[in-house]
Amino acid sequence: MLLKASMSSFSNSSHLNKLVRQEYMRLPQGGKCQVTYIWIDGTGERLRNKTRTLDSEPKSIKDIPEWNFDGSSTYQSIGSNSDMYLVPVSMFRDPFTLDPNKLVLCEVLTYNREPADTNHRAHCKKVMDMVKEHCMWFGMEQEYTLLGVDGHPFSWPSGGYPAPQGPYYCGVGADSAFGRDIMECHYKACLYAGVNICGTNAEVMPSQWEYQVGPCEGIEMGDQLWVSRFLLHRVSEDFGVVVTFDPKPMKGNWNGAGCHTNVSTKQMREEGGLQYIEKAIEKLRKKHAEHIKVYDPQGGEDNKRRLTGLHETSSIHDFSFGVANRGSSIRIPRQVGEEKKGYFEDRRPAANCDPYSVTAAIATTCLLDLEEGATVGLPVAV
């Protein structure tokens, strides 16, 4: 029997009167604009943000000035040389403070204006520029799990477990779908912000959900997914619930969380495109070990807990592919197999992957001529 989650599983901030907040949100801004700068910190997984006032609404990313922050407080520098640069790269509408305010995703540069260690966007941009002629599209399926502030899955019985997996995937009802309010608010926030979110569903493990972003071309995939994650964290914060992208949040007979990545080039989408899909898969097979190393921030150690060959995953040690096979490394959708064109799905990336690293690795392996011994983590000239 499912038990109601205790109030101690929610953060104290979620108990604040949100109607009072709305009164202040209605106040005019005197023509000024609030811009929230978002960046990836030194963990490579967490997001940080801070806000400044601009005299007017920016019309494009070029209208937003660079800024800086204390990198010694985000695991990105030492106190004696702490300033890091924030370089705006992508702008979105702010669904929390509303128009004309903006959210701005930023790259992080060091004091000598080199990419920070966890700034994988810089490398990804170089790769995507090199393969631009292929019009490479990506779609990423972001799975996540909702937790109480006590670290226990949201709405699971205190100190216990819900009924076994079965009724939860795409489930309906209070005994099957935990946290739908958060999912729906996040969906709306993404649409308002301008994130190309294209769908969502409840996942196999209770309190686990998925949303899909795409198709996005090139560098836009990483930009959009990181901002969608920021929005999810912020929405969940309002509800007093915590989001985790841990690839295996619960041990035992429970599904893990991935970030399946759908890939398509111009040639793959045209008549006879299946042959290019098959060629790409063969290249991915040869670089399986290298891809595993970049598909989670811990070089494969996080994903090792998830890719066991069970719970709709392939084994981390083996490469496989098949039509409509969710237990394979690469899945060719049944419709693609029938139409002989379209896209393929790489099911190996973990939920906590860096989308810049994943998309850059796939583009490098599939579209650039790698020299013998070259790794997918470095740009290689054609």
Residue 325: the pLDDT is 87
The reply to whether 270 and 292 lie within a common domain is yes
pTM of the model: 0.95
- Structural domain contains residue 12: no
**Residues 101 and 133 reside in one and the same domain:** no
Is residue 136 located within the same domain as residue 245?
A: yes
Look at the alpha carbons of 157, 163, 168, 171 in this order and tell me if their dihedral is positive or negative: negative
Residue 8's pLDDT is 61
Structure token digits, residue 107: 């790259």
105 and 211 within one domain: no
Q: What confidence score (pLDDT) does residue 14 get?
A: 84
Can you give the pLDDT at residue 15? 84
Whether residue 21 is contained in a domain is answered as no
How many whole angstroms separate alpha carbon 76 and alpha carbon 117? 8
Please give the span between the terminal C-alpha atoms of the chain, in angstroms, as a whole number.
59
Residues of the chain with pLDDT under 50: 1-5, 379-382
Q: Answer yes or no: do 74 and 137 share one domain.
A: no
Long-range contacts of 4-9 (CB under 8 A, 24+ apart): 4/155, 5/148, 5/154, 5/155, 5/156, 5/158, 6/158, 8/148, 8/149, 8/150, 9/148, 9/149, 9/150, 9/152, 9/154, 9/158
| 138 and 39 assigned to the same domain | no
pLDDT computed for residue 9 by the predictor? 79
Total domain count for the chain?
2
In a domain, 20, yes or no: no
Residue 279 lies in a domain: yes
Q: Of 368, 369, 282, 278, which is closest to residue 319 (Cα–Cα)?
A: 282
pLDDT at 373: 57
CA angle 140, 146, 149 (to 5 degrees): 140
- Looking at the fold, whether 201 and 108 belong to one and the same domain comes out as no
Residues 108 and 228 in one domain: no
**Is residue 278 in some structural domain?**
yes
Residues 105 and 226 in one domain: no
Boundary-marking domain end, from 118, 137, 162: 118
What CATH number should be reported for the domain holding residue 48?
3.10.20.70
Indicate whether 82 belongs to any domain. yes
110 and 190 share one domain: no
In the chain, how long is the greatest CA-to-CA distance?
63
Domain limit, last residue, from 93, 118, 143: 118
Does 67 share its domain with 170?
Answer: no
Is residue 346 domain-resident? yes
Q: What secondary structure, in 3-state letters, does the chain show?
A: CCCCCCHHHCCHHHHCCHHHHHHHHCCCCCCCEEEEEEEECCCCCCEEEEEEEECCCCCCHHHCCCEEEEHHHCCCCECCECEEEEEEEEEEECCCCCCCCEEEEEEEECCCCCECCCCCHHHHHHHHHHCHHHCCEEEEEEEEEEECCCCCECCCCCCCCCCCCCCCCCCCCCCCCCCHHHHHHHHHHHHHHCCCEEEEEECCCCCEEEEEEEEEECCHHHHHHHHHHHHHHHHHHHHCCEEECCCCCCCCCCCCCEEEEEEECHHHHCCCCHHHHHHHHHHHHHCHHHHHHHCCCCCCHHHHCCCECCCCCCECCCCCEEECCCCCCEEECHHHHHHCCCCEEECCCECCCCHHHHHHHHHHHHHCCCCCCCCCCCCCCC
Whether 67 and 150 map to the same domain: the answer is: no
pLDDT tens track for 363-375: 999 999 766 556 7
Sign of the torsion formed by the C-alpha atoms of 305, 307, 309 and 310: positive
What CATH number is attached to the domain comprising 218?
3.30.590.10
Cα–Cα distance measured from residue 172 to residue 307, given in angstroms and rounded to the nearest whole number? 28
| Short-list 35, 49, 52, 51, CA closest to 100 | 35
CA distance 81 to 320: 47
Q: Which residues contact 206 (CB under 8 A, 6 or more apart)?
A: 153, 155, 156, 162, 165, 168, 176, 178
Domain with 64 in it = 31-118
Distance, CA of 87 to CA of 85 (rounded, Å): 6
How many angstroms separate the CA atoms of 358 and 349, rounded?
7
Residue 378 domain flag: no
User: What six digits make up the tokens of 266?
Assistant: 């111009």
Token pair recorded at residue 352: 């906590």
Boundary-marking domain end, from 118, 145, 172: 118
